[in-house]
Structure 1
Amino acid sequence: MIRSEEVIGAVLAAYEREPRVNLHKFPIDLRFEDGVLTLSGEVDGIAAKKLALELAAAPRPVTGVVDRLRVVPAERMEDGAIRDHVCDALLSEPVFEEFSIQAVVKQDLEPVRSLLSRYEVQVEVNEGVVILNGVVESVSHKRMAGVLAWWVPGSRDVVNGLELAHPEDNDEEVVDSLRLVLEKDPMVNASQLRLSCRNMVVTLDGAVSTESAKSAAEADAWYLFGVNGVVNRIMLLG
């Protein structure tokens, strides 16, 4: 039988080989029991979080991963303020103009915008973790809602539980969703970028003028629900 120390050691070794998972600055606590590996701690970005989860699932004895990782927020905010920001972002986004929006406050639903619509987004925040529930029209709507939640500076994680009225999804849907997100991101000039996706792995090409724009574009791709990997080939303009 493989001991838990061996599994944890293998995962930690994989983390050491991945430069975006900085264990020295952001240590991750690992616990392995009955085939399930539990990850706890803070990481410095969405890429580090998703890569840490992917690498944790790789060893053969691991049959499940419990995600308790949180992203260090750009700004520390109270749960109520985060919830208000997410609701405001949904209200301001044209693709949700025919959606009802509700806030979950102390387990009670409070209407933010009530419409006679089959589509609804419920927003709850618990210790910086944004929880989205309800029903949306398509996977593109689900992805956009998730990105808007991630963009709130105080968000530490996003649990996207939105159900789909039309669940069709493919690589082209990912590209379309990402293009829409990049066009809305003030940090990025979407016209400078070329996007592609294969088997839910996004590739970014093009050239931008700043490192922050390059990082923002990659983060936006990682934020998308269902994306399993991001290859960032964006170059910096000299």
Structure 2
Amino acid sequence: MNSAGMVGDASRRVMVPPAPMAFVECERRGGRCSRGGAIHKAIRLRAGIAPSSLAPTPSRPTINTEECLCFSSAGTPSPGRNPMMGQEVISQVRAAMEHDPDINLHTFPIELQLREGALVLAGEVEHISAKRKALRIAREHSGDQPVLDRLLLRTSRHRDGDGLRGAVLDSLTQEPVFHGCALLDEHLPPPDDGSDWIRVTVPQGSSTVRLDGQVNSLSHRRLAEVLTWWTAGTADVDNRLHVQPAEQDTDDELSDAIQLVLDKDPSFDGEQIHVRTRNQEVTLEGAVRSEVNRRLAAQDCWYVAGVHAVHNRLEVRP
């Protein structure tokens, strides 16, 4: 840590704030952080866009962060919880990942490192479920240490920079849901009339897509991220879209977003799949025509931000 209190390399610095500190709810976890049952919130650094689950107010500044950093609400470890340090936390996280059927550490190893108090996950994963579950496992076993996700999804096609940005913009343009939304590259300013807009940014040489802007529902926010994930060449998505007016995230809202995503997937008939969500755990029931489609339906759920688990009860009926 340098004198300014920064962690990480110069291009992706995250400030570790002292306690006590001001918090806003964690956008990437739907306003609810379930680490160990303790009440956690995420501080959002970097001036910019308000979290989608919160409307900006004079007492709550519109701040944003490059990462979701979960701390206890008092800025100190929760009562009865001692933070684990060093090799102990790494060993426990790795052991839990080894036992997860969706995480293949032998073919796709995940690097775990402690860097100035933060647990960093890095490497390449085969499926989106592995990325989501690895991050969740790390958070569940890391005590009150922040967890930084540097995992990249293996892509079947190499794209970066302008090529990937153009492909994402094409995908969003073709989606009728976004026909009333201004879709911008990094050089165009947003509209000044308060209407919806999405800016797509991909640094040259990178396969990480950043989405900035404003949309009118959580479903729009989630669908934009899923379509970006589905774009060939995308290895990671940094979704900073703000929902205006703000909406309360619920299990029903999550189910609706998943149903919308399943309806968009041409691999199967989404109407034959019933989605139920409880405490952000999704259950799929119904029928698909093949085991491949059964697995694809589960992966589609994991592309949706806010999903904590998927219980796949789909039947195969050729």
What TM-score comes out, normalization by structure 2 length?
0.69
Higher strand share: 1
Match status 1:211 vs 2:291? yes
Match status 1:20 vs 2:102? yes
8 Å CA contact 2:93–2:142 kept in 1: the answer is no
1:221 counterpart residue number: 301
1:41 counterpart residue number: 123
> Identity over the aligned pairs, expressed in percent?
39
Range that drifts further, 58-67 or 121-130: 58-67
1:129 to 203, 208, 218: 208
Mapping of residues 114-153 of structure 1, within 5 Å: 118-126=195-203, 127-153=206-232
Structure 1 residue 79, shift from structure 2 partner: 2.7
Q: How many residues align?
A: 233
Structure 1 residue 60, shift from structure 2 partner: 5.0
Structure 1 residue 218, shift from structure 2 partner: 1.2
CA shift in 2, pair 1:203/1:85, >3 Å:
same
1:100 to 151, 163, 182: 182
Structure 1 residue 205, shift from structure 2 partner: 1.2
8 Å CA contact 1:98–1:117 kept in 2: the answer is no
CA shift in 2, pair 1:119/1:171, >3 Å:
same
- Report the secondary structure of 1:63's partner residue: coil
Cα distance in 2 for residues equivalent to 1:85 and 1:184: 17
8 Å CA contact 2:162–2:202 kept in 1: the answer is yes
Cα distance in 1 for residues equivalent to 2:215 and 2:240: 10
Match status 1:196 vs 2:273? no
Structure 1 residue 56, shift from structure 2 partner: 0.8
Runs of 4+ in 1 over 6 A off after TM superposition: none
1:185 to 265, 277, 282: 265
Cα distance in 2 for residues equivalent to 1:32 and 1:148: 33
What TM-score comes out, normalization by structure 1 length?
0.91
Mind listing any 5+ residue stretches in structure 2 that lack a counterpart?
A: 1-82
2:163 counterpart residue number: 81
Q: Deviations over 1:195-234 (max 9, x none)?
A: 1111122111122112221122112111112222222121
Query: What amino acid is aligned across from residue 64 of structure 1 in structure 2?
Result: P
Query: What amino acid is aligned across from residue 97 of structure 1 in structure 2?
Result: H
Query: What amino acid is aligned across from residue 65 of structure 1 in structure 2?
Result: V
